[in-house]
Amino acid sequence: MTNAPSRLPRALRPFAGLRYRLLASALALSLFGGGVWLVTLVASVWALGGTPTDLSFIMTGNAIGMVVAVLFGGALADRVPQQAILVVVESARIVVSVTVGLLAATGLLQVWHLAVFGVVIGLVEGVFYPAYSALLPRIVPPEHLLAANGIEGTLRPLAYQAAGPAIGGLVLAATSPAVAFWVVSASQALALALLLVLRHRGTGEHVPDADAGRADRGGIFGDIGRGFAYMVRTPWLLGTLLYASAVILLMIGPLEVLLPFAVRDQAGGGAAEFAFVLAGFGVGSAVGSLTVASLRLPRRYLTVMNLLWCFGLIPMALLGVLDSLWAMFAVTFVVGALSDAAGVIWGTILQRRVPTEMLGRVSSLDFFVSLALMPVSMALAGPIGEAVGFPTVFLVAGIAPIVLGTVAILAFRMPRDEIAHPLSNDAIDPESQETLGPVPPIHG
């Protein structure tokens, strides 16, 4: 029994545990439903005669919901059983998708409905990810956590950005948005069933220290405040999160709001063609994640990570002028591959350098800081794109990150820091073992 995991390739060893198989399968189904939802949402906006500003409004509400919920979701995940949170979240998703499907089928669906439900989806997403992050170390041994994160990094683009949009586009082409929304409901119902089984399987193969996940001193707001304090006094963390916020501001709005209209207006495509271009991002993300996960961590890990983000966004500058769907697919593939390659390195750095008792709050802050400017990006993308033109917006999104990334690397002295704190594939960085005095233990 002990030797069973070792017979699996390193990247697949988390699958030796039944509870992880249940969790990963539920995650894959949930992500697949999210991908179908995304293209169906765009198709519904088009069918209702919506504009880029309308889609921007919907996406902004969704992002605001995530931003509002994520910090509290992180603290909640340390006080409530994570399996219960995931069950409630998946149930809420089912209610939303079934309701929107009924509205679409009866011809009552309006843009404002999509905006309201977008906020609801954002709120539950903000609670879901901290709970998932807090649950994972409870069912996966520490030595397999990196592989489990790599699996998630592959599942997310394949299910959410590739398979979901692709199947959603086919369903839309063959039927209607109502049916596509119910496909979302079906995948979410299957995910819920797996989560219910998971919840009744006990505590699992690996349970961290009994004190992990407890954050009673100072309440939820005290927990959040101590997490912010740690971020501010940790230069490499602060610099990377600030740079990530700037990248989100520049990238997310154009990709989420303007790209569907670029596909339609420049390449003459519809929902299926948009799904095809979006699938390029998903396939590229999976390739990038798998490639980096199979290599050794770079010695200059902070520099390499930030440069991957810098240069990975350059192809976006072309999206405002391309009129070929295959060329757009190639651009999204490259952006996805290099961005997610950096993401795999980033996840590994957090696990290796952040003290265990701070990892939950830092993970929530990672989500929060990354999401904070997402509503702004989505709110601005539509109006600015209509005012100055898509080519200008995409050009800025592709070029500005190079300058900002270089400033972040140098201003926060990342080259010096990564040399002072080398991360081999086997050693644990001493910095991650430092005690933080009064900070209560928490694990994410």
**What is the DSSP secondary-structure string of 287-316?**
HHHHHHHTSPPPTTHHHHHHHHHHHHTGGG
User: At 299, is the pLDDT very low, low, confident or very high (cuts 50, 70, 90)?
Assistant: confident
What pLDDT is attached to residue 52?
80
- pLDDT of 148 strictly over 50: yes
Q: Is residue 94 very low, low, confident or very high in pLDDT (cuts 50, 70, 90)?
A: very high
How do residues 378-388 score in pLDDT, each as one tens digit?
888 889 998 99
Neighbours of 437 (CB within 10 A): 5
Question: Shortest CA distance to 30 belongs to which of 272, 194, 147?
Answer: 194
* pLDDT band, very low/low/confident/very high, at 270 (cuts 50, 70, 90): confident
Q: What is the mean pLDDT of the chain?
A: 82
Task: Report the C-alpha gap between 85 and 89 in whole angstroms.
Answer: 6
State the Cα–Cα distance between residues 350 and 261, nearest whole angstrom. 37
What pLDDT score does 34 carry?
Answer: 93
For residue 142, the model assigns a pLDDT of 65
Sequence-distant (6+) residues with CB within 8 A of 291 are 337, 341
The region, left, alpha or beta by phi > 0 then psi within -120 to 50, assigned to residue 443 is beta
pLDDT at 401: 92
Instruction: Indicate whether 214 pLDDT > 70.
Output: no
Stronger pLDDT, 56 or 300, i.e. the higher one: 300
Average pLDDT over residues 324-333: 94
Domains defined along the chain, listed by start = 17-205+218-433 (1.20.1250.20)
The Cα–Cα gap between 409 and 266 comes to 36
pLDDT in tens, 231-243: 899 999 999 999 9
Q: Are the CB atoms for 6 and 132 separated by under 8 Å? A: no
Section 2-23 average pLDDT: 76
**Distance, CA of 306 to CA of 345 (rounded, Å):** 10
pLDDT at 443 over 60: no
Lowest mean pLDDT among 301-305, 330-334, 351-355: 351-355
Instruction: Give the pLDDT confidence of 180-203 residue by residue, as tens digits.
Output: 999 999 999 999 999 999 876 654
The identity of residue 190, as a single letter, is L
Q: Are 246 and 404 in contact (CB under 8 A)?
A: yes
